[in-house]
Chains A and B, each alone.
Chain A
């Protein structure tokens, strides 16, 4: 049999962008994946499950097969007619596709938002106010002797993070797990917490208080309260000592921080803490980005518009204010009269009220798979998987860009996001002339 092994393939699941996968292909099918985590092999071996292989359009109450041309024409007509179209998703596709997406939103005068707004949007809002002290993951691998995961559970969400980049990795100046301290701060004892040297369990929704107390302790200020966030002050002061006395510390945080009470302010507090720590030692901070190219979606949108997500083009220039121009808010206020979803499943992921509005407007979805969102859509444009069936560049969570590979052909007749979106943009430009 003609088995073909491709080495050093880039994984397209989470923000770790592991690029050491060894993929075995047999007759245009992936049959084996080495070096991958459970999520990665799940995707690599399961990418053919529940695929949509033909464009579908709603006629009456049923979805009927159609051609790309017809589906794109109908989509173009819908979004050019709209007063307030929403373009959402973008974190599971390539930079090249995102770039066309931004132009599409600009051309039609719509809202361009990516999944950042419901994962690390608050992180970006925090950065606007405070800035961030960060680095690439390799710096942490080489130098960090103290690593904190706060409200993040890499064992489940980023399975190879610790072995490739942090406590379990081998760096130039830190050779092994023994050279590093792992601190986990969470509301529950997660599987990551079980590996920690120090685990601090705090009360739900009190990350902010703990962060503030920790910063005060780092500064050496007196704290009047005896217990903060369910943690005794002694323990907080002990932790502060550890942070000050490390040579190179890294704070990773997850959605536990961005989603719980305080949201962007939790991040402001974390960024301020890390900035403060830099007057005593070297410290960096990094969000644990979820989708494989959400960082790319932010970057592409930023270089084209100045803003990383939630961009409003309705008046012909980029405007930005998450809370107003972000997808969930727009939908909750009912301020959107059509939606194009690319590689995302907002019907599953958005709060009910916002999802409900999506199903009351013309909904068009570009996605490889059947999802609750495609099930509620009026038009479905099936697409190829980036990093499996087509190439495209993608950003690791620390901003390192990688070119993903094409490993196999997409299902017969299925187009790529780039092909679909550029055909759509061309059509839209023609119609708005």
Chain B
């Protein structure tokens, strides 16, 4: 399967900012954050359509999220993921002596993950952090 080298940016988006106030387990938060903006040419190149799932891997990890059309202009070779638990699965904890990890400008690979599912917050925590969680209230 075709893999594509891209630069990953993560950042704030208005919808992320708004939806995080709706609660981090909410569907609207999931929809606005568990996604990746990809340029139209790039997504064609890996044989995907918007709305399908994509796998992004860096040297720090790998995560499956939904590919979406850029909400703001995006050049080829750059992908954007809003801040959130999905973005941090693939960001690095090296801080170059500054305390600041690397969230922006990480080189990463993009590939189709049509058949895979995007994990919800609950599933992701179970998978990544193992400590069991339980429903509250």
Size bracket of the A interface? 35 or more
Report if A264 contacts B (CB, 8 A): yes
Q: Are B17 and A188 in contact (CB under 8 A)?
A: no
Q: Are A38 and B14 in contact (CB under 8 A)?
A: yes
Q: Are B133 and A375 in contact (CB under 8 A)?
A: yes
The A/B interface has a contact count, at CB < 8 Å, of: 204
Q: Are B129 and A328 in contact (CB under 8 A)?
A: no
State in angstroms the CA–CA spacing of A331 and B83 once bound together: 20
Report if B31 contacts A (CB, 8 A): no
Determine which of A13, A201, A348, A354 lies in contact with B93 in the assembled complex, contact meaning CB atoms within 8 Å.
A354
Residues of B within 8 A of A14 (CB): 17
Determine which of B7, B21, B83 lies in contact with A204 in the assembled complex, contact meaning CB atoms within 8 Å.
B7
B120 to chain A, nearest CB (A): 11
Q: Are B97 and A323 in contact (CB under 8 A)?
A: yes
Q: Are A61 and B98 in contact (CB under 8 A)?
A: no
Interface residues of A in 124-180 (CB under 8 A from B): 125, 153, 155-157, 159
Residues of A within 8 A of B13 (CB): 156
Give 16 A-B pairs besides A121-B98, A189-B72 with Cβ atoms closer than 8 angstroms. A14-B17, A39-B14, A113-B99, A122-B100, A156-B17, A188-B75, A188-B78, A331-B93, A332-B95, A351-B60, A352-B60, A354-B101, A355-B129, A359-B130, A375-B125, A375-B133
The 8 A-B pairs at the shortest CB distance, nearest first, are namely A326-B99, A50-B23, A322-B99, A189-B73, A323-B97, A42-B18, A332-B93, A49-B23
What are 17 residue pairs bridging A and B, where the CB atoms are less than 8 Å apart in the complex? A42-B19, A42-B21, A49-B22, A155-B14, A188-B74, A190-B73, A193-B72, A259-B100, A261-B105, A322-B97, A328-B95, A348-B24, A350-B101, A352-B61, A354-B101, A356-B129, A369-B24
Which positions in B face A, CB cutoff 8 Å? 7, 9, 11-14, 17-19, 21-26, 60-61, 72-75, 78, 80, 83-85, 88-105, 121-122, 124-125, 128-134, 136-137
